[in-house]
Structure 1
């Protein structure tokens, strides 16, 4: 049996999914985190629970919302589970009524009763269940309270009769609906009444479905007949108004509100953190503290300890093992100078990556990131986007690939494409090892500030380009930004660990697979040259390839073949830059990589190099995702080309301007 889980954004839907199935899915506090349905099995049953995107209505505006209508039209679900936020019952019940009209057995999970109580709202489940006509179970999804009872009800054999006629739309309209139902009921397995009402609401996917089972002329005639009765009011507004009357009656019977409710803590805090003057400075302070934790207070000591472990006992152990088995000089050089130097050079930054992800998860789970999107909306609107576009960009701080995929939540094609093109400018975790390497060598006293400046630089450049593109090649109407701010919550320890691991595991996975293979290839290119094998590094194929780019890079501060070779491998994965540098500069038992970089780069050139890494071409996985999401070779090539041009121009300004200023 398959059960669909549906609800508004920020109702705790994905937390409920995790508790019911015992599996983990990414939990966030903004609309659009779940961009595709996810499937898990109940803990004590073989029945499947399908977690669908958070939506306010079945009529899809964006691609992720369309997933829900597609699921309902497919007929996959045997039952439906609808989660409601007890503190926002009136709004949530609009979706509930749509699901009741769908006709499949429905169970309601009433979540966040504790939050509602704190706001002076008390919901009685018995009258709510009576007037809805379906079982209602009170749950607290974050703690799991009530989830076992809900699971037993869903997976049991209890018959659940659904009242599909919960709303009366008036005799004249009901008669027309009845006539249309007679027309299509023999041609569909779905509730014909639900199809008729979704058609009146303007559900494009339902309209497309209806035109495949009956004549388009009959569909249009039905809509026109209802519109004639309704008059000047839009059909969507009419349906909403009629449902609102039923909802008001249900809430009146099931909800009691205290007259003197205390202002929630969330609202008091929001007056400060979303203030139009204080919001952005507070966000920058939060990010500065985050980078201090990552690069100074916690991250560097842990990375140094891991570096000492890899460079010392682990490398010595591998050398002794290779000597013991009689490995050839070639194999020993490949393993020590190539694999250990390349992969190990990336792995030393794992602690910093995980610390960054841990604190980003805290900000997300607490509800603060939704406030950041709201604060940024004022700026985003001025450049042709809205605050919802900043959500994929925030996700892009972890990895640009899911950030680009999260742009599916954006309604208008123009804004969605613009967000996809700009998200790669966000500084992802793969760039973090490069920053850590260079700030440790050149900016030891200002590590957090320098890294913060790079993150801000990526945001500022993306905003400038958004204004440019939206005024030229991507003109169009800007949509309105509506976001529900969840209450601030204390992050759950287990969820934080799972979220951190979920974000960071790909970094470790790439180090063990892609970076491993890349390190072998890079070492071979450094080992061989036009004149044979085991050549000097400057005479290798890697030096020849890097030398092609060196003259072009000289004006921006790093015109060496080593920098050219590292940047070339960065297209495959940004972490590969570190692998390449470790192999190129590897000198056993001598100076560290950071010490060698000090002899090659100046502080100004180092900052220019980091800025170039931030902005230049997206990695291969990101480029592939852009192509998949846009379906366009043209826009994929444009995303690579414009980023390279912008990176070069900006770094030219940074380096040459810095020299003029005496840096």
Structure 2
């Protein structure tokens, strides 16, 4: 931090500080990497020296209690360790208490002494020690530290007056997170992901984009001309017996009744597969024709297009004719497999299983990297530390501590370290509640799934990704209110003391390192867990029993597959959520192995045939059922690896299963309400089943409202003393 000290024009007397502390003090800057080696050398030298440092003393009541603890509990330990253990016992450190395993009578005696000093100083034991240390630090720096502008606000202080303002802090946070997801999921991130999905893991792409626009124009002109002539005379250029010359003569010889007749044709949207009707005119488009419902080319113009283009005009434009065309990975792999005459089952496994599944996941890596860069910048500049402080004010009203935000923040990258970060919470009840709710926040593994649903069903709206983040926050707050009103979690939240770092410009190296660590973890999972999962999903979806024989299936027989039978056996569970088909059910279940599996499984099950996975998803889900599916998979139990972390941190089978059951149950009832209330508002309720479901949804809503407003078990008001130290 010496770079910040010097930047502010402050001065530290290193020699005086070394004398006061009794050890060598070294100036370092972790940001710039200066002084690190010197500090390490000084630490090694101090360890070899073995010289004791001056012991600072606390205030009278605290010292008196620590002396009692030393005498009662740790007097048999080496003298140099007694004071440290006594202070930890004073702070009621759970791990030290567990390690020492003291007699209950001794613990009762110690606890009585601690309660006496807490009553005398009107504070809890941990805060007392914290305050005593700050007092000691303040005494030392009086003669060692000189501020350039004492009493004046620093740049960080001025910024904090705005971003931590009681009224402006949350709106600013919401705007910042919206911009983060807008940039990563809509603008920069989407452009890169579209290239990855359509180009790298699709048919291919034009190098540097040169020729892409010309190809799109040519492809559009060909499609319009083909649709125009097929409105009057049907031709099939893709059929094996198609003859361009014969087809052209047929088109030219066609004579309709009337001077300028028109026909209605069905046109399918390439992205959503939605079918709409367009009007095609034979000779000319009337001036008063509706442009939105009229094809922009007439029959005669289309015939002229094919006549002038010759036989090649009946062939779909080749992208390789428009600039340098780079084939996608699936195309290259398929060409290689065809060259070696690969057997059909292995070709299907590689292309429809591994490439389709893993490629669907890796296609979202660009979006993930952009998101990770932006989050790394917010963390490195010091803003996210302020959000922990801001949210502490809100969380505390609902029974949670600002300490709970630290695991939540860590969990945006991966839920596992987020769960492990709950160790910083000393209060066991708060720690367990944080473990249970941390995975509600969307982690990196959930981002591809969010992006897929947002892109396929909601037109790529940035509000979906931003809403998913704040939905997770809302779920944490609602759960905090409900759980805090039960006997298992009742009690005041843990105190939250945090030093806010000064704002600074993040270094490029640190930001890129953070992005790469998170991104590489995502990529490694795609090459291991996701790879194995896609093999299993492909095998179980393309093998099954037909006419009593176990055989490999084609795409039209997937309903007879092993996976389909498994999905059909359990899909009734999810029918009240609006997506009771076996494909969606299987995707949700495989997401328990790894959340990326949802995308991989959809890539296999929904990406078969001529339609892309995006098109099939758009036609398989409505906005309501798509939102229900999204919310359930965001809030339900995390992946197996995160479940393992929950089991380790809970260290109790009962608490582990309670946590998993709560997460799944909470996700289920929220998704159920979204489904039936969504149907109610969109007028999609149909039949007695939906009416019963709507009644159940209202009953669940009433129960949730009751749980939110009922009084606390132990106290009607949660309160905590907050001590601000400068």
SS for the counterpart of 2:583 is helix
Per-residue CA deviations over 1:232-256 (Å, capped at 9, x if unaligned) read 6799999889877865654333223
Which residue, out of 642, 646, 658, partners 1:638? 658
2:90, 2:114 within 8 Å by CA — same for their partners in 1?
A: no
Per-residue CA deviations over 1:330-378 (Å, capped at 9, x if unaligned) read 1111111111111111110111111111111111111111111111112
Q: Which residue of structure 2 aligns with residue 629 of structure 1?
A: 649
1:136 has 2:157 as partner: no
Pair 257,316 (structure 1): closer, same or farther in 2 beyond 3 Å: closer
Which residue, out of 469, 473, 484, partners 1:455? 469
1:570, 1:576 within 8 Å by CA — same for their partners in 2?
A: yes
Q: Distance in 2 between matches of 1:417 and 1:474?
A: 9
TM-score normalized with structure 1 length: 0.74
Matches within 5 A, 1:194-209: 194-195=83-84, 198=87, 201=90
Q: Which residue of structure 2 aligns with residue 30 of structure 1?
A: none
C-alpha deviation, 1:555, in angstroms: 3.2
After TM superposition, the structure 1 stretch with the greater mean CA deviation from structure 2, 611-620 or 408-417, is 611-620
Q: Distance in 2 between matches of 1:658 and 1:423?
A: 27
C-alpha deviation, 1:422, in angstroms: 0.9
TM-score normalized with structure 2 length: 0.68
C-alpha deviation, 1:628, in angstroms: 0.9
Q: Distance in 2 between matches of 1:194 and 1:599?
A: 69
Which residue, out of 358, 362, 369, partners 2:384? 369
C-alpha deviation, 1:294, in angstroms: 1.1
Which residue, out of 161, 164, 169, partners 1:279? 169
Per-residue CA deviations over 1:459-516 (Å, capped at 9, x if unaligned) read 1122112101110142122222222111111111111111111112221111101111
1:393 has 2:283 as partner: no
Matches within 5 A, 1:222-621: 250-258=140-148, 260=150, 262-307=152-197, 308-312=199-203, 313-444=328-459, 447-472=461-486, 473-531=488-546, 532-535=550-553, 536-587=557-608, 590-621=610-641
Pair 618,358 (structure 1): closer, same or farther in 2 beyond 3 Å: same
1:422, 1:462 within 8 Å by CA — same for their partners in 2?
A: yes
1:200, 1:223 within 8 Å by CA — same for their partners in 2?
A: no
Matches within 5 A, 1:28-107: none
C-alpha deviation, 1:162, in angstroms: 3.2
Pair 625,260 (structure 1): closer, same or farther in 2 beyond 3 Å: closer
Per-residue CA deviations over 1:208-257 (Å, capped at 9, x if unaligned) read 77788xx9999999999999999967999998898778656543332234
SS for the counterpart of 2:29 is coil
2:185, 2:367 within 8 Å by CA — same for their partners in 1?
A: yes
Q: Distance in 1 between matches of 2:662 and 2:65?
A: 55
SS for the counterpart of 2:201 is helix
Tell me, which stretches of 5 or more residues in structure 2 are unaligned? 204-327, 684-726
SS for the counterpart of 1:529 is strand
Q: Distance in 2 between matches of 1:551 and 1:139?
A: 62
Matches within 5 A, 1:17-28: none
Pair 400,260 (structure 1): closer, same or farther in 2 beyond 3 Å: closer
SS for the counterpart of 1:142 is coil
Pair 200,438 (structure 1): closer, same or farther in 2 beyond 3 Å: closer
C-alpha deviation, 1:566, in angstroms: 1.1
Pair 183,115 (structure 1): closer, same or farther in 2 beyond 3 Å: same
Per-residue CA deviations over 1:40-70 (Å, capped at 9, x if unaligned) read xxxxxxxxxxxxxxxxxxxxxxxxxxxxxxx
Q: Distance in 2 between matches of 1:175 and 1:423?
A: 41
1:518, 1:576 within 8 Å by CA — same for their partners in 2?
A: yes
1:420, 1:626 within 8 Å by CA — same for their partners in 2?
A: yes
SS for the counterpart of 1:483 is coil
1:133, 1:162 within 8 Å by CA — same for their partners in 2?
A: no
Q: Distance in 2 between matches of 1:487 and 1:186?
A: 43
C-alpha deviation, 1:550, in angstroms: 3.0
2:89, 2:96 within 8 Å by CA — same for their partners in 1?
A: no
2:358, 2:534 within 8 Å by CA — same for their partners in 1?
A: yes
Pair 272,189 (structure 1): closer, same or farther in 2 beyond 3 Å: same
Tell me, which stretches of 5 or more residues in structure 1 are unaligned? 1-111
Pair 146,592 (structure 1): closer, same or farther in 2 beyond 3 Å: same
2:162, 2:169 within 8 Å by CA — same for their partners in 1?
A: yes
Q: Distance in 2 between matches of 1:342 and 1:423?
A: 28
Q: Distance in 1 between matches of 2:659 and 2:65?
A: 51
Pair 622,192 (structure 1): closer, same or farther in 2 beyond 3 Å: closer
1:210, 1:219 within 8 Å by CA — same for their partners in 2?
A: no
Q: Distance in 2 between matches of 1:229 and 1:280?
A: 38
C-alpha deviation, 1:613, in angstroms: 1.4
2:169, 2:390 within 8 Å by CA — same for their partners in 1?
A: yes
Q: What is the total number of aligned residue pairs between the two structures?
A: 548
